[in-house]
Amino acid sequence: MKLSKKQARLRRATKFRAKHAENSTERLCVHKTSAHIYAQVISGCGTKTLASASSVAAKLKNGGNVDAATQIGTAIAAAAKKAKVTKVAFDRSGFKYHGRIKALADAARDGGLEF
C-alpha cells in the first residue's frame, strides 16, 4: 500500500514528535502552505506556545517564498530570545529540509537559536 504525499509527511512528523517527547526541550515547530509560512516555539511539555511568528501576522506581500521564510526565521529567533529560549529542537512537521524550511532554519540560527 502506497502512502499519499500528505500521509507520508504526517508519518515523518509523528516519528519526530514521538522521538522527542521524552526530551523536555522546546520545539521550533514550522508549518507551511503555498501562500504562507508559520513558526512557533512550543514548551517541552507541548502545552504552551512561548513565541510565534508568521507571514500572515507580518503582513508580507508574498508569504510563500524564501525571502518571507528568512524574515520569519529572524522574527522567531528574536521572539524566542525575548521569551528567554536559546536551545530548541527543530520540528519541520515532516516537510523536506530544503527551500523555505531551510531558509527559515538558517535565519533562526543566524538570529541566535541553537538546534
Please tell me the pTM assigned to this model. 0.87
Amino acid 32: pLDDT: 94
Give yes or no for a contact between 94 and 9, defined as CB atoms under 8 angstroms apart: yes
Helix/strand/coil percentages in the chain, nearest 5: 40, 20, 40
- Residue type, position 22, single letter: E
Task: Examine residue 20 and state whether it is found in any structural domain, yes or no.
Answer: no
Amino acid 48: pLDDT: 93
Amino acid 22: pLDDT: 72
Amino acid 25: pLDDT: 86
Task: Examine residue 102 and state whether it is found in any structural domain, yes or no.
Answer: yes
**CATH code for position 54:** 3.30.420.100
Task: Examine residue 56 and state whether it is found in any structural domain, yes or no.
Answer: yes
Task: Examine residue 11 and state whether it is found in any structural domain, yes or no.
Answer: no
Q: What is the pLDDT of residues 14-24, one digit of tens each?
A: 888 888 777 77
Q: At what angle do helices 100-110 and 66-82 cross, to 10 degrees?
A: 40
Q: What is the pLDDT of residues 51-97, one digit of tens each?
A: 999 999 889 889 899 999 999 999 999 999 999 999 999 999 999 99
Task: Examine residue 18 and state whether it is found in any structural domain, yes or no.
Answer: no
Task: Examine residue 95 and state whether it is found in any structural domain, yes or no.
Answer: yes
Task: Examine residue 73 and state whether it is found in any structural domain, yes or no.
Answer: yes
Range of the structural domain that residue 56 is part of: 25-110
